[in-house]
Amino acid sequence: MSVTAAKGFTAAGIAAGIKDNGNPDLALVVNTGPRRAAAGVFTSNRVKAAPVLWSEQVLKSGQVSAVVLNSGGANACTGPKGFQDTHATAEKAAEVLGRGAIEVAVCSTGLIGVLLPMDKLLPGVETAAAQLSEHGGEKAAIAIKTTDTVHKTSVVTKDGWTVGGMAKGAGMLAPGLATMLVVLTTDADLENDVLDKALRAATRTTFDRVDSDGCMSTNDTVLLLASGSAEVTPEYEEFAEAVRQVCDDLGQQLIRDAEGASKDIKVEVVGAATEDDAVEVGRSIARNNLLKCAIHGEDPNWGRVLSAIGTTSAAFEPDRLNVAINGVWVCKNGGVGEDRDKVDMRYREVHIVADLAAGSETATIWTNDLTADYVHENSAYSS
Amino acid sequence: MSVTAAKGFTAAGIAAGIKDNGNPDLALVVNTGPRRAAAGVFTSNRVKAAPVLWSEQVLKSGQVSAVVLNSGGANACTGPKGFQDTHATAEKAAEVLGRGAIEVAVCSTGLIGVLLPMDKLLPGVETAAAQLSEHGGEKAAIAIKTTDTVHKTSVVTKDGWTVGGMAKGAGMLAPGLATMLVVLTTDADLENDVLDKALRAATRTTFDRVDSDGCMSTNDTVLLLASGSAEVTPEYEEFAEAVRQVCDDLGQQLIRDAEGASKDIKVEVVGAATEDDAVEVGRSIARNNLLKCAIHGEDPNWGRVLSAIGTTSAAFEPDRLNVAINGVWVCKNGGVGEDRDKVDMRYREVHIVADLAAGSETATIWTNDLTADYVHENSAYSS
């Protein structure tokens, strides 16, 4: 059901010809109201794609009527012409929808440094608008795929209101947001400042802790649109939890479909003095190429966990560190613990617990193993 | 010639049986004087191997008579027993050489989290001592190899004095020193504070800027020993430059032999506001897995260079960035530059220039491509 699970939204997904292979590559999501409140979170990369620069401006008003999303090109590092193209895309959507261009957010994903084929994209916006439907959510989710092998959607329904969403993302998953485009919708009746608070709280502990390959994108965008169509205003805590659940679910789907991955690795840091320490240590472990290779080889190489912890500024004493892999405490007090041969690593999910023995704060970072398939996917062609 | 190129040094390399496959695994380097001044630089990883903790103490006196080095086990994360084993190794060498244990540095390399077979290592020290020779430098260099495919040595001879050295290192090459063991020797007559100054200056711009896979070791050690045997005291600048040349040469050899690499990548950052900015940007580019995969595929994917620059805190404006790959300015002013099809990437060395257009400082970081062979070497067995 995706973005059309919530009432007050229509969507479409079509093949506009942006991708050479003829696959769907253009999605349109429209908020039919009555409310058009919105919030957004964007990549923290300082090199931002044109659609990010544009959409950041759109979100300043806290009002979004529609989102145009394309795969097949990131429109990043494309200079003034790239920004003009994003602007023209918003203008075209505004024109066919009868709204103002400043209420149209734009998202792009694909190769950096290439201009979009506007002669295909602009007619595509018209085609998509003609196909808008209350059942179009799944088609929209399919049209934003790049190297994704499956489309990703999630829905949480509460008492009279719903939060739905779609996501794409496969490589370049990283900090300050995993690389991706995400559109979340709700029919709850909420102001944009409430949406903003709930969205930032949710992304901080979900997408922002999905770190597949440590690379940060130029195009990451997460939007949350509210139609107010359900005529229900939920309590903040309940709404924020629903948004968190949808983000968490979509984040898990991103990890499970990460490029070339054969293992999903949950890095849980416990016993940290601060949450920041826990996140820093978790990221350091999650980005250690040597460890990620070892996990791929089903080798519970805890020494690589310790060497990753040792590069951080977190509070810990080396001789008090403990590490468990799939429930076996292979490292105790910084040295050899239980027999590593007891660790069963045959399954896709691998659970690493790093205990800093320095406090009671925790954080969980999700990552993948590093595989020959990842190398192949990212070296055999430009993406 | 290695560590015995300088007068006043003997060395040996033997197979003590630490490695299961019977390859050489124990090296001994002895300073026969008359001077025994020394300096050392160690890993900045906070999880330090027992031999690092020991040798740091040894170096406090600025005096080193001998170095025992073993491959086949890192003796890291091995608790109090591991430290006792390092101490016993130094004691054994001191005993057979007739020196004090506190003048014997110890270096280990291999798998983390495993105790060394002391029943083989200690007799090995005796065997090595019996084979010490002024021509033993090459054998010592061979005995410290782990996944190195070749042994690495370098010599610079000046007017009456010499700096020689040996190095090992293949995976886990990273910041705050590339992972490695390095012993440098000189017959110049110099105090330990001069050695220390020259060594720190040299490693800062050589080993510290070799970043193969972003992983920092628990065992990195670089030692510089002076025998004074040449009875010459060179000018500081001349001596420091000779040490830098040997370090630079050994660093290049480490990169060329990095695990699984098919491309050596020189990342040169120019136009930086500060040297720190240049180093930060260089490291960010050098550690970007997606870019390293693209280079492996001979794809001049400059968008991945820009996305890596964008994650740093360096001074720059996105629309003023320029990037050249193998001499072709594929990115100009943050956008599309010369035709990327002009870039010839058939050769092993790849030269990336990132111009921040924000000043006049520069730095060069060396790295490798990311390959399926790297994944295989680091997943197929524990190392």
- Domain of B327: which CATH number? 3.10.20.340
> Is the bond preceding B34 in cis, omega lying within 30 degrees of 0?
yes
A366 and A238 share a domain? no
B168 is in an annotated binding site: yes
B234 and B104 share a domain? yes
Q: What is the dihedral of CA A106, B307, B290, B262, to 10 degrees?
A: 150
> What is the domain-level CATH number for residue B194?
3.60.70.12
Q: Which of A4, A78, A179, A203 is catalytic?
A: A179
What are the φ/ψ torsions at residue B182 (nearest 5 degrees)? -135, 130
The H or E element containing residue A297 is none
CB A195 within 8 A of CB A234: no
Residue B179 annotated as catalytic: yes
The total number of structural domains that make up chain A:
2
Pair of tokens at residue A129:
């608008």
Does residue B111 lie within any of the structural domains? yes
A243 and A147 share a domain? yes
The H or E element containing residue A215 is none
**Among candidate residues B238, B256, B274, the one where a domain is terminated:** B256
A216 and A189 share a domain? yes
A9 and A127 share a domain? yes
CA distance A307 to B111: 12
A332 and A252 share a domain? no
Does residue B322 lie within any of the structural domains? yes
A183 and A287 share a domain? no
Chain A residues within an 8 Å CB radius of B79: 319, 333-336
Best mutation target among A311, A319, A333, A382 (most B Cβ atoms within 10 Å) is A311
**Among candidate residues B236, B256, B276, the one where a domain is terminated:** B256
A286: region left, alpha or beta (phi > 0 left; psi from -120 to 50 alpha): alpha
Chain A residues within an 8 Å CB radius of B214: 287-289
Pair of tokens at residue B99:
């020196």
B41 and B88 share a domain? yes
CA A333 to chain centre: 36
Q: How far is CA B131 from CA A333, B24, B36, in A?
A: 39, 13, 21
Does residue B212 lie within any of the structural domains? yes
Pair of tokens at residue B85:
């084993």
A362 and A281 share a domain? yes
Closest-CA distance, A64 to chain B, in angstroms, reads: 27
B191 and B325 share a domain? no
Instruction: Judge: B47–A310 Cβ closer than 8 Å, yes or no.
Output: yes
Per-residue confidence of chain B (383 residues) as pLDDT tens digits?
799 999 999 999 999 999 999 999 999 999 999 999 999 999 888 899 999 999 999 999 999 999 999 999 999 999 999 999 999 999 999 999 999 999 999 999 988 889 999 999 999 999 999 999 999 999 999 999 988 889 999 999 999 999 999 999 854 434 443 468 999 999 999 999 999 999 999 998 898 888 877 777 888 899 999 999 999 999 999 999 999 999 999 998 988 888 788 999 999 999 999 999 999 999 999 989 889 999 999 999 999 999 899 989 999 999 999 999 999 999 999 999 999 999 999 999 999 999 999 999 999 999 999 888 888 877 876 66
CA distance B355 to B363: 11
**Among candidate residues B202, B236, B256, the one where a domain is terminated:** B256
What are the φ/ψ torsions at residue A356 (nearest 5 degrees)? -80, -10
**Domain range holding B347?**
264-377
β-strand pairing of A181-186 with A162-168: antiparallel
B183 and B297 share a domain? no
CA distance A355 to B302: 40
B229 and B329 share a domain? no
pTM above 0.90, yes or no: no
Residue B88 identity: A
Pair of tokens at residue B141:
């260099």
